Structure 1
């Protein structure tokens, strides 16, 4: 690779016109990309808003830009981003230096938002720089002229690599990079990331094997000040419960927004965003027009209007979800508010970086607790940020559904020979251990649909021609495959539009609309709407004058607490155990913590806390592993299954991020049985068998299989000119699932569904680690007279499944009143209770606690 015509002096001159000077880490990237004959690949890890994009882009121009000629150079740089909105914003940033440094370079965007005119122009000639998404890159690979068109690519930049690395879209990128590398052996690969805990693994996953000895890791050395604070409630609820969306904090949020020039208000769910947007407008009607709402289900035009308003500084605040997590540059934003638990340290850092999005500017995020225990999380999150503890991401291991899809894509894009493609695929991190038998199964699957579908022509998607080159023989199947490329799988959505005038508002999950009848009202896009009728995949609505709003429901609303943040929470409890309340949040929540100690004990890194309680409903066990709700789901089922082995027993299960509750109708001697029930299994295989036996694994795997079948091409979200409903997809997937179970039990997609269920929905590896960690802790059991502050939220979780919202609120209000009436009302009374009960001292292990329980 020859050194480009853009000199370092020219780059520095362009920066000077902006009033900027290059940072040392940017210079390191430029040096690496210009080095030697072919340059170096690498990963740039730096804080959000410190100049990562310019570091790689200006390096690319120095390394690759050639002297101007009569025509623009062919496609040279592919810039991959995980989101369409981020792609458009990135292209604007990359175009800025081109008129000065490389005026002969052309640039463009190819994503699901590209117009047909843009795509047609690119079909004739691709620009020198193309910003795209993983899905659109796969579509390029599926073009018949892909080898000739993409052979000119010299550099691929994967932006926000931390967002892609740990999921199937990242695997899709790995396969695409391996394909491009075959056509261009000197291809440079660069990743850009802001929040990753396992950087060496991230670099190895990006580069694949064999890795270049000259690959570089560049750390952003520019200090980025990150301020994390919390809006403290006027009073702390000692018996807190999740789910009321924290609207009691509305006055403080209003004041915080009013005190800043521009604010992003992040929520974890779209329904929460809708509720907060409406509540803020109700509190401040004068903010109409300067307060906006942004989430992925809103119409593209509305989202772009909001993004432009944030850029121009015309909006005072925007209530949003993860739709604005990544990379979109909103320089005017001064402050970020996070409603509710941020759930992970990396997510906190990412969202904080949306403010002060420029080198030298401080980022500020203010946490808004929606219940008292989130004050502990807030203190823990800040401590983890300052200590640099960030979650790790791992690439999925050999997902065969993604590989099957890739085989058809490559067959369309010029064809392949199995031997060469097998070696190519094994250069990726995800498939480096792909067994020959699995590879042969994938070939058989795309050739004839496997053993059970061989008689159906629709599943003969690729086969060798007379030269041994595998191609797609049917144009109809080719069109269908191109229409369904990708690994993003979600519930089918329905368009929402007004019945009169037909203006489209956005989309909502079909499962939500299916529960509504004409005349029902729901809150969407900040409006109260009435459902008029459903026309195919469109919900026709009109404005509702009055009515009880039903919030739309989207998947993903219950993301688990990360293990990194959960460990930090336990450290906060441990400090409180020793009388240290080192933050404003912990001092604020001290009444709750003190009452937990008085009535029971505190969970700590060294102590596993268990509580039992007898109520009119039966015998309760509360256990607090602090491993996140995903692990608790598997752990609760496993514990209940083990407890029921000697004699039949039925348990009700409730769980949250802190622990879980088992409720049985008959008495169980938990003090005697818990040590045995919590014992780690001898092997991982034994644990897998027990977890699968403890849950309705068949139904869970069936649901997971639907996603795999969609990616693998067994079922299709859409045919050209046809959109299939969510119900049709599920019926088709269930049919395939049963056919394979009965007639092809060795089908590897069935096995993959089971493995993904265990690794993703139940996180068995983390479950095994949790069991091992629990085995090293001191098991402490307390027999309760009343539910404790930690037990109370678990009771609410169980009631939520049985009661309507009004009944639930009334029931909770009665319970809180009863518990507060039984609790000491001041600090001196709590201290006296601690001294009398002895719970503030070192907890007594459950196995030695019989005398203590009899005394109580």
Structure 2
């Protein structure tokens, strides 16, 4: 087919192509690779899909219906002509849940434009019978995931089965770009390009702040060089269409002068119920699975008549539950769905009218992505409403809207040279036809993540999978590849089976199946939470109140609880840090308040708290670093507000506490949130090093960081993930999963063995790098230190905690106190704080009161 045929198909359905769709059709027909960046729901799918059909026709791949044959032998001729073309197009999706929805959209134009083509899906959810059919003959176009593509690459016949792939489309590229799954995609593309140097690759994205870099990562140096040599340079296409986007905030009636995480939750329930009641279908997004479970219970408690039409969706629920919810959304049967990021991406839910975001989105890209779930079609408007759970989230909501309208979207950067992914890939390719040293080294360096890989590091990785490195040579199971007729292959069938079971880079906490005693499966939960429960304990999961019965063979058996309350489980790594772009925008809004400007509804609602902060202390701004001190019966409190996000604040708090204690021995307890951190000490702290910038020196930063934290333990924990990706630790066979304790023991054993007997093992160095880069975000931490050195610091001694320091204290209290004791403690604190604020307001002279009203401290 041609771009003209694509245009005609659009017209047959009463559609008019957008200019960017025509641009992509022509570019792909001409053999260009590229990246399409367009608003969610604007028509990206058909832009690249019809372009792929045009590219296939240009290459001579059959798309049209076969001509009729007559005469002797006609039946055989017709059968041969009617055979579907071999696999030529791969569509990569980051989530299995998107595969079926994507396949439905791709199938729509095939009868008219490519009737001979077949289309299939392959992921972890694909039935075994369908897999068996694909093993005999793959479809012409295949919708799959990075993990399933790597499994295809590990097949012995991979060069024959995948060598004819001429087009690869990577959907939701922004979701893959910044993690190891994206590196896995980069290596897979390098392998496909090895077989077909003219490979056409397109990425799709709706929310990226560094598009040129994202395109370079997608193609890799080899892809860019091949495109330039062929005279078909890569294209960056912007899908600009007029699509209305409304971002607003559900304002609390009484935000108050003091607030902390979750403080406004119950107050916002009534307005949320009203918003849902007034819309046909609403998506209620939360940032964590715990929050989703809690809000689902709150909604049903407020409206019991919504049982059956309000649903819950997150990644820990059983696949059958998730599919039921997705089908209900598409059919318009559900009134509302409370969801996490499990519904952020691509799935087309046309009936969704409203999107609510519980709490701050913590990032501009996430806000825009979730907004696009409503009005998910060209020409329809999108709307998202932020529901603050504490008063500072009102400021974050206003800041997020301003940043979104200004196009200040977060960057995504590819990991650099993760050797665990390389080790896994070398074994995968050895299974899938084998490789030779020089050719494989050149192929791997053709991907962006490994463009600077040294030959010494590549040779180390090859030697590691060949013989286990310096400490595992005596164990045959770690001799994973061997040279056969000059080609590296996997000669052992047991090793091959174990490797295929472990392919992939998604490594989470070990999960247990949660199942009713009578047999119905609810989903999976992290073993760490379930292992702490005793028989009879109650907890909330899958929207139900459950009673824990027992654990047997990595399955937690439960029954319906008769009590009214239970624990809301927590999941590891569930808190999202504030992005740099949003943090900067928040400080800009605080500067407006400090200048007496409350121009948005959100700042007006937050005005009592902001003015109280200005009266009792100061408001931090882009030009001011606020440092507060306060003494209580607990000890000496030091509060600092860099506004760098909780991930950076964890490193900053540890670093500064270590440096302070090094100069004057002291013991510190730490508390962090997205806005700042608290150092609580037994002995007084001299604030001078914090005010003159000495403490923020970048000299010896890495050494001090590692010394301030339990770096060995952090690296050991990080090594657990690396060991699993590199194939050192197996998660077990189907039906025989290993427990977290077994996995921890195995990875810890490898860690200690390598440290003692193989100190040059590069995976140890990778563990330390990932602790600094991924867990502590050392680059952003260094930038925060540099900014703190430049800024003038304002030091305020507090009579009572300020509105901004209270949330940090509550974070610490929650880890130490029961709910009842926390409420009592807070009540006493709030009495003291309100009395102090009243005294300040009453005692301040008129001029000072006017300055406080403008948000400026005396």
Same fold by TM-score greater than 0.5:
yes
1:297 shift after superposition: 1.1
In the other structure, the counterpart of 1:87 is 99
2: CA distance, partners of 1:375 / 1:758: 32
Distance 2:24 2:848 in 1: 59
What is the SS of the residue equivalent to 2:692? helix
Gap change, CA 1:232 and 1:144, over 3 Å in 2:
same
Could you say which residue in structure 1 is the equivalent of 2:149?
137
In structure 2, distance between residues paired with 1:679 and 1:541 = 51
Displacement of 1:540 in angstroms is 1.3
Is the alpha carbon distance of 1:266 and 1:842 closer, same or farther for their aligned partners in structure 2, counting shifts above 3 Å? Answer: closer
Report what 1:819 is aligned to: 833
Alignment of 1:652-801 (within 5 A): 652-671=669-688, 674-682=691-699, 686-719=700-733, 721-801=735-815
Deviation at 1:809?
2.2
How far did residue 87 of structure 1 move? 1.3
Deviation at 1:593, TM superposition (A): 0.6
SS at the partner of 2:82?
Answer: coil
Gaps of 5+ in 2: 66-80
Q: Where does residue 18 of structure 1 map in the other structure?
A: 13
Offset of residue 349 of structure 1: 0.3
Instruction: Measure, in 2, the Cα distance between the counterparts of 1:374 and 1:312.
Output: 34
CA contact (8 A) 1:643 1:677 kept: no
- Aligned in 2, Cα 1:15/1:753: closer, same or farther, shift over 3 Å? same
Matches within 5 A, 1:113-192: 113-192=125-204
Contact 1:642-1:677 within 8 A present in 2 as well? no
CA pair 838-74 structure 1, distance change in 2 beyond 3 A: closer
The corresponding residue for 2:441 is: 422
2:235 match: 216
Per the alignment, residue 40 of structure 1 pairs with 32
Residues 77 and 827 of structure 1, relative CA distance in 2, 3 Å threshold:
farther
- What residue is the counterpart of 1:485 in the other structure? 503
* Aligned Cα root-mean-square deviation (Å): 1.7
Aligned with 1:314: secondary structure?
Answer: coil
Q: In structure 1, how many angstroms separate the alpha carbons of the residues matched to 2:151 and 2:15?
A: 38
Question: What is the CA–CA distance in structure 2 between the aligned matches of 1:314 and 1:499, rounded to whole Å?
Answer: 30
CA deviation profile, 1:728-759 (whole Å, cap 9, x unmatched)? 00111111111111111221111100000000
- 1:673 offset after TM fit, Å? 5.1
| Alignment partners' CA distance in 1, 2:777 and 2:643 | 14
Match for residue 496 of structure 1 among 514, 533, 536? 514
| 1:596 is the counterpart of 2:613 | yes
Distance in 2 of aligned mates of 1:563 and 1:337: 23
| Structure 1 residue 350: Cα displacement | 0.3
Please list the CA deviations of residues 747-803 of structure 1 after superposition, one character each: whole Å capped at 9, or x if unmatched.
Answer: 111110000000010011111111111122111111111111111111111112211
Write the distance in 2 (CA, Å) between the matches of 1:593 and 1:623: 17
Q: What SS does structure 1 have at the residue aligned with 2:669?
A: strand
Identify the residue that residue 51 of structure 1 maps to in structure 2: 43
Q: Deviations over 1:38-71 (max 9, x none)?
A: x100000000000000100011112214233321
1:161-196 Cα offsets, whole Å, 9 max, x none, are 000000000000000000000101111000000000
List aligned pairs for 1:343-422, cutoff 5 A. 343-422=362-441
1:249 aligns with 2:264: no
Q: Distance in 2 between matches of 1:828 and 1:351?
A: 45
Q: Measure how far apart 1:821 and its partner are.
A: 2.5
Question: TM-score, length-normalised on structure 2?
Answer: 0.95
- Residue 691 of structure 2 contacts residue 794 of structure 2 at CA under 8 Å; is this kept in 1? no
Query: Which residue of structure 1 aligns with residue 119 of structure 2?
Result: 107
Shift of 1:678: 3.1
Q: In the alignment, which of 548, 567, 575 is matched to residue 592 of structure 2?
A: 575
Residue ranges of structure 1 left out of the alignment (5+ in a row): 1-5, 845-856
Change (3 A) 1:196 1:226: same
Measure how far apart 1:839 and its partner are: 11
CA 1:394 to 1:518, structure 2 compared with 1: closer, same or farther past 3 Å? same
Q: Is the 8 A contact 2:312 2:337 kept in 1?
A: yes
Tell me how far apart the structure 2 counterparts of residues 437 and 690 of structure 1 sit (CA, whole Å). 30
Q: Tell me, yes or no, if the aligned pair for 1:43 and 1:217 is still in contact at 8 Å.
A: yes
Instruction: Render the CA deviation track for 1:263-306: whole Å, top value 9, x for unaligned.
Output: 00001111111111111111111111111111111111111111
TM-score, scaled relative to structure 1: 0.95
Would the alpha carbon gap of residues 616 and 832 (structure 1) be closer, same or farther in structure 2, given more than 3 Å must change?
farther
Alignment partner, residue 491 of structure 2: 473
**Would you say the 8 A contact 1:479–1:720 is kept in 2?**
no
Q: CA 1:265/1:588 → structure 2, altered by over 3 Å: closer, same or farther?
A: same
Task: Deviation per CA, 1:87-126: give whole Å up to 9, x if none.
Answer: 1111111111111111110000000000100110000000
2:284·2:339 contact (CA, 8 Å) conserved in 1?
yes
Aligned residues: 831
- 1:142 offset after TM fit, Å? 0.2
1:828 positional shift: 8.6
> C-alpha distance in 1, partners of 2:850/2:607?
19
* 2:595 and 2:855 in contact (8 A); partners too: no
Deviation at 1:463, TM superposition (A): 1.6
Q: State the alpha-carbon separation in 1 of the partners of residues 796 and 630 from structure 2.
A: 9
Change (3 A) 1:313 1:751: same
How big is the shift at 1:372?
0.7
Is the contact between residue 408 and residue 462 of structure 1 (CA under 8 Å) also seen in structure 2? yes
Deviation, 1:560, is 0.6
Deviation at 1:596, TM superposition (A): 0.7
Report Cα offsets for 1:632-669 as digits up to 9, x if no partner. Answer: 11111111111111232111111100000111111122
SS of the residue 2:628 aligns to: strand
CA deviation after TM superposition for structure 1 residue 547, in Å: 4.9
The equivalent residue for 2:637 is: 620
Contact 1:834 1:840 (8 Å CA) reproduced: no
